[in-house]
Copies of this chain bind each other. A is one copy, B any other.
C-alpha cells in the first residue's frame, strides 16, 4: 500500500494509534507506512517524567507536566486497555491508584509487545504541516534535534496526538511582577519537597490544584491555600488547608483575596489549566476548541471537519483516558483503511459535532458527564474491532471514586475497584497513600515500606 501516515506524538494517544495499526497488521491487514514524530527521547508523553522545566536541552518547550510522587488521581479500572490488562502486564492484579512509574511501565508494556518502537522518530520536533489541495497531500516539516537537521516529507493523512495538558494557561494577577518568591504554573511543578515548611498559594480548583496541594501537604508544606473563581472544591481538607475566593493582588509576600482577607505566602502555583496549542499547524488545519467533552470541529470527536484527512486523538476533556484514546485510534485507523466511511458532505460532519455539543450541554452534573463520555467510547468501539468492554462498569468505578473523594480527600486512594477487563478485584495497597512516601515501582508492587520515610 502506498499511503503514508504521520502520527504526531508518542504519548498514550500516539501509541494507541501505532498499536491500532499494528493490531490490524497482526490480523493480516495491509497497513500503510506509519511515521510517528516524537519530540522527546522516549515514548510515554506526559508519563515520561523529566526534571526539566521550561525549555529542554534542544531549546524546545518541555512537554512534561508530570511531577515526582504523582499517583493516578482516578482508579486504574477506568483507564485499563481492553486489549492489554494490568494482570497481563504485571502477572497479577495490582492496587487501584498506581504511581507514575507503574503506569508508565504498563503503557510501555503494550507497545513493547506490539513491537512498534521502530516506527517512531524520537527527538524530532514537528515545525510545520501544510496541506496541498491539488496533490491532496500533507507536507510535514520536522527538525531532527540531535542532528540539527530540518527536512520535509509528504503524507496522505496526519494524526495529531500531541496532547493538550502540556502548554500551560498562565494568567497574570496584579503584583506578580513584584512578588518576592517563586511563581510557577503546575506544568513546571516537579518536587513537593521544594515547598517543605512553606506557605503555598494555589490558584484554581482543577485536578492540578487538588493534587499538587495534596502532594505539598503530604510532603510537609506549612500551609496550603487555594483560591477559587466560582466555588471552592469543598473537600474535607486538613487543618492547614484553606480555600479562599479569587486572588485580587499580591504585594511582596502578602496575598489579598476578593473578600478582603490576606495571607502571607512564600510561593504561588498557578493551577489554571492548559491550552490546546499547535504552533506547527496553519489556520486551515489548526483545531481551536475549548477543553470539553464535545470538542469543536471534530467529527466523531476525531476527524477534522474542515479536512477529514486530518485526525486528532485525545483532544477531549477526559474522564476516560487510555481506552478512549484506543477507541479513537482504532476508529481513525479504520477510516484510513477504508473500513469506515466519513460522509463526503461537510454538513453531515458539522451536524455530528453540533449533536455532540448539544448532548454534552444537556447533562446536569459530572455523573451525566461520565455517562456521556462512556457512551461516546461505546459508540466508537462498536464501529471497530477494538475489544468491547464493560463501559458501564467503568462508569461505576468513576462514580464510586467521586464518592470516595468526598468522604476523604487524603484517603480516597486507599480504595480498590473491580477490573472491567478481567473481572478481578484490585487488592488494597499495602500502605495508606498519605504514608507512602516512596513512589517507586518496586515499592508499589512490593511489600509495605519498612519505614515511612524510606527515601
Contacts and interface: CB of A to CB of B under 8 A. Distances in A.
B54 A171 contact: no
B177 A193 contact: no
Contacts of A168: 54-55, 59
Contact of A57 (B54, B68, B170): B170
A183 interface: yes
A254 interface: no
Interface residues of A: mostly helix, strand, loop or mixed?
loop
A10 B178 CA distance: 25
A277 interface: yes
Interface stretch (A20-28, A45-53, A108-116): A45-53
B127 A279 contact: yes
Interface in A167-222: 167-172, 176-185, 187-188, 190-191, 193-194
A141 B61 contact: no
Contact of A194 (B170, B182, B188): B182
B167 A180 contact: no
A56 B54 CA distance: 10
A455 B167 CA distance: 34
Q: How many copies does the complex hold?
A: 2
Contacts of A68: 178
Contacts of A151: 283
Interface string A23-39: 00000000000000000
A128 interface: yes
A184 B149 CA distance: 28
A264 interface: no
Contact of A53 (B150, B181, B188, B193): B188
B141 A57 contact: no
A50 B183 CA distance: 12
A60 B59 CA distance: 12
Nearest to A268: B51
A148 interface: yes
Contacts of A275: 59
B52 A170 contact: yes
A407 interface: no
Nearest to A152: B282
A288 interface: yes
Interface residues of A, number: 54
Nearest to A193: B180
Contacts of A50: 177
Contacts of A184: 53-54
Contact of A150 (B49, B57, B282): B282
A414 interface: no
B181 A191 contact: yes
A150 B283 contact: yes
A143 interface: yes
A51 B277 CA distance: 22
A175 to B, nearest CB: 9
Contact of A51 (B143, B167, B177, B188): B177
Contacts of A178: 68
Given A180-B191, A194-B181, A172 B61 contact: no
Given A49-B177, A279-B143, A56 B191 contact: no
Contact of A148 (B49, B62, B143, B288): B288
Nearest to A177: B51
A172 B57 CA distance: 9
Count chain B CB atoms within 10 A of each CB in A54, A68, A180, A193 and give the residue with the most: A54
A54 B187 contact: yes
Given A141-B282, A148-B288, A181-B193, A61 B55 contact: yes
20 contacts: A49-B177, A50-B177, A51-B172, A51-B176, A51-B177, A52-B170, A53-B53, A54-B185, A55-B167, A55-B187, A57-B170, A57-B171, A57-B172, A59-B61, A61-B61, A141-B282, A180-B193, A182-B190, A182-B191, A183-B190
Given A54-B188, A59-B275, A150-B283, 19 more contacts: A49-B177, A50-B177, A51-B176, A53-B53, A53-B54, A53-B184, A53-B188, A54-B54, A54-B62, A55-B187, A57-B169, A68-B178, A127-B127, A127-B128, A128-B128, A128-B141, A180-B194, A182-B182, A183-B190
Question: 8 closest A-B pairs (Cβ-Cβ)?
Answer: A180-B193, A59-B167, A54-B54, A59-B277, A51-B176, A51-B177, A150-B282, A150-B283
